[in-house]
Amino acid sequence: MSVRKPPLNKANLMLQQEAIDAVRGQTLAPRGHFIDGRSIASDSGDVLDIISPIDGAILTSVAAGSKADMDRAITSARSAFEDGRWSKMAPAQRKKILIKLAELIERDALELAVLGVRDNGTEINMAYKAESLSAAGTFRYYGEAIDKIYGQIAPTANSVLGLIHHAPVGVVGAIVPWNFPLMIGSWKIAPALAAGNSIVLKPAESASLSLLHLAKLASEAGVPDGVFNVVTGKGSVVGEAMGLSMDVDVLVFTGSGATGRRLLEYSARSNLKRCYLELGGKSPNIIFNDAPDLAQAAKVSAAGIFRNSGQVCVAGSRLLVQEDIHDDFVAEMSRHAKDFKVGNPLDLSSQIGAVHSLSELEANLQFVQTAQEEGAQCVAGGKRILSETGGYYMAPTVMSGVKVEDNLHQNEVFGPVLAVTPFKDEADAIRIANSTVYGLSAGVWTSNLSRAHRMIEEIKSGVIHVNTYGGSDLTVPLGGVKQSGNGHDKSLHAMDKYFDLKSAWIQL
């Protein structure tokens, strides 16, 4: 049984690092799927090696799922839903189990964080809060919410009673990415379970470990067998099988636009399952010359693009700076970029961890090269950092002089690469901000309240930050517009995806 580790706080710094060191080098046995309440090997017997970005070495392996594995998990989820072991359980009882799961996540918080860092490279300070503690809070939030969601009575004529019920949709398929698997996975799993659905989860093949551990904790908390299943493997195999299944009612996904399009095609070719997609962004962060504190704006903006090596869907990856402060602000951003300590993500002194994989690192460096060929200037970073541990590390990079039509301006890098573009006035800033196919997040720095409201109205984005960047809690939804997707995670609005509205028309 796992022992609850001491919380990470500066007052206990040496013990923190010792606690991390105690689990960071543990040998990890190969992992199977989690189906019908137990761990099983793949139907084919095949496995996928998990390469740690910390040192580039094989960490462990997970089952390389087959279509038969996915079909088995979906069948298990369907059986569990139809017999009512969870879907017909009283909401107050589901609440108790989900809150118990939150407590178990907190108990294993450090173990889960270290497990995730070893297979995706996020710095431990961020992983502990954004992965483990965030996941615990998410399950507690939706557990507390579920017995407080009521149906409605329609304002009908006196002779008729119109009732509106919330009914669970059935089997939910979820596909989550590698950058924050536990946090993003919980955003989908917790409300789906709270609503009474069964779920089949397909993690990223390179970042499955913390979610497999979560499934075991769910079973320990009392989630019945078959209600929460995890199938690991390649998207081209098990992801496709999930998308084409006639027995998955709703599919939720966070990842690339190309994969999102395939999932929509799979829906059209199968049972027209509803698909809710969060497809990333190229978020503008706009600095006006009347920003209340330009030094603070630079500090927060640097964290908003470089933390987690830029591997954040809402990262402020396009910096738009008003012309008369452009040069000074870019210099300040470059100073922050050079000051970040990049290193082993399991060391508490590291501010930025590893790039997730060698292929991601190479893609990041290619973006830098292409930007230079298109006329941009690299004023900070732009290179791979060779670490004594090996692994995949990149210097935080600032590219100045990026034009609207440039590749770096238009396409998501998903790495620590910032594209800087000057603008003249408010209208110019709006034009540039809206000049990509994405619309997930944005930031505006200004002391002018009227301007702030105008920018909120005019920028086509699901999330707008004003005089800050990043940071929110479960009370507000996260979702995009344009090709950043549809639907929302977080907040009570996330529950909408996991309920069917059922109307009852009763003659009195």
Residues forming the active site: 278
Provide DSSP, 406-452.
Answer: SHHHHS---SSEEEEEEE-SHHHHHHHHT-SS--SEEEEE-S-HHHH
Token output for 229 = 């299943």
In angstroms, the CA 189 to CA 28 distance is: 25
For helices 109-120 and 209-221, the axis angle rounded to 10 degrees is 160
Residues 6+ apart with CB under 8 A from 329: 287, 294, 297, 298, 321
In angstroms, the CA 207 to CA 213 distance is: 12
Task: List, in sequence order, every residue forming a beta bridge with 58; answer none if it has no partner.
Answer: 51
In angstroms, the CA 55 to CA 386 distance is: 11
How many other C-beta atoms are found inside a 10 Å radius of the C-beta of residue 103? 15
For helices 181-194 and 91-107, the axis angle rounded to 10 degrees is 160
Can you give the C-alpha Rg of the chain in angstroms?
23
377-380/397-400 β-pairing: antiparallel
8-state DSSP, 224: P
In angstroms, the CA 252 to CA 188 distance is: 7
In angstroms, the CA 203 to CA 131 distance is: 14
Q: Residue 14: which H helix or E strand, with range? A: helix 13-24
Q: Which of 199, 207, 198, 203 is nearest to 175 (CA)?
A: 203
In angstroms, the CA 244 to CA 77 distance is: 16
Q: Which of 225, 245, 227 is nearest to 190 (CA)?
A: 227
Q: Give a three-class secondary structure readout of 127-179.
A: HHHHHHHHHHHHHHHHHHHHCCCCCEEECCCCCEEEEEEEEECCEEEEECCCC
Which residue is it, tokens 């088995």? 72
Per DSSP, the chain holds a count of helices (H) and strands (E) of 16, 21
